[in-house]
Structure 1
Amino acid sequence: MQSIYERIEYLIKQKGITKKKFCEQLNISTGNMGDWKRGKSTPGTHKLIEIGAFFQVSLDWLILGKKTPEMVREGSEDYFFGQLRQLNCQSDELKPEEQNFIKEYFEFTQYRKQKETEENS
């Protein structure tokens, strides 16, 4: 597997989902997927992080092809916290005030989404 796209395609097959389902779950347009396949573009940093977390593979493997995905899978318990399943940046390495800031940011984001939903109703 030489390209990021080929590795993503491999992971999609390993997970047993369709490309369409993958795109829907990660909010990726099929046009972007096509551009990745043709080599016209590659996923941005934030999207690569989402894809890596979705498949529980390292960014080293996803971007560079280092090792096999089975060897670099990360435990979801270590990588996520709470029911939100948000990245915790290994929270034990963060200072308490940094952890609080992140939690407050998540709460603020949820509040904004709720307000937006209410306004659009």
Structure 2
Amino acid sequence: MYYENFERLCKEREVTPSQVSRGTEISTATLTSWKKGKYTPKQDKLQKIADFFNVSVDYLMTGKEPEQDFSDESAHLIAQIRKDTELSDALKKYFGLSDAKKKHVVELINLLSE
């Protein structure tokens, strides 16, 4: 089934298996072995192909994206909360530093910002 999905993606994206091979560094011989059913793709190679087509491995294997429990907006909010939490933790650490260390951190930030 995965090779059928691979072929469909190639057709939809107007790319050849040779182009995928070059883009993923997976040999054309390996792709041919998959097509003939002589070889089962390993997870790392499936991931390279999925990344090439910008799809999930699940999609590559089944032709369907997995159901998400939350909307894209919710996923964005969760990601933002994680970033805010990381920033909050960093600020807590910063404010716990001595004045001399705070000055050093600010100097480093200014140096890296230039």
TM-score by length of 1: 0.50
Larger radius of gyration: 2
Q: 1:66 to 1:11 in 2, by over 3 A?
A: closer
Q: Give the structure 2 partner of residue 14 of structure 1.
A: 12
Conserved? CA contact 2:20–2:52, under 8 Å: no
Q: Deviations over 1:80-112 (max 9, x none)?
A: xxxxxxxxxx8x59xx7xxxxxxxxxxxxxxxx
Q: Which has the higher contact order (CA 8 A, sep 6+)?
A: 2
- Tell me which amino acid in the other structure corresponds to 2:64: K
Matched, 1:50 2:48: yes
How far did 1:66 drift? 4.8
Q: Give the structure 2 partner of residue 104 of structure 1.
A: none
- Tell me which amino acid in the other structure corresponds to 1:40: K
Conserved? CA contact 2:3–2:35, under 8 Å: yes
Aligned residue pairs, count: 74
Structure ranking higher in helix proportion = 2
- Tell me which amino acid in the other structure corresponds to 2:16: T
d(CA) in 2 for partners of 1:19 and 1:46?
17
Within 5 Å, give how 1:26-45 maps onto structure 2.
26-45=24-43
d(CA) in 1 for partners of 2:18 and 2:63?
27
User: Kindly, what percent of the aligned residue pairs are identical?
Assistant: 35
Structure 2 unaligned spans of 5+: 69-74, 87-114
Structure 1 unaligned spans of 5+: 73-77, 79-89, 97-121
SS of the residue corresponding to residue 43 of structure 1 reads coil
Q: Give the structure 1 partner of residue 22 of structure 2.
A: 24
**Runs (4+) of structure 1 moved beyond 4 Å?**
none
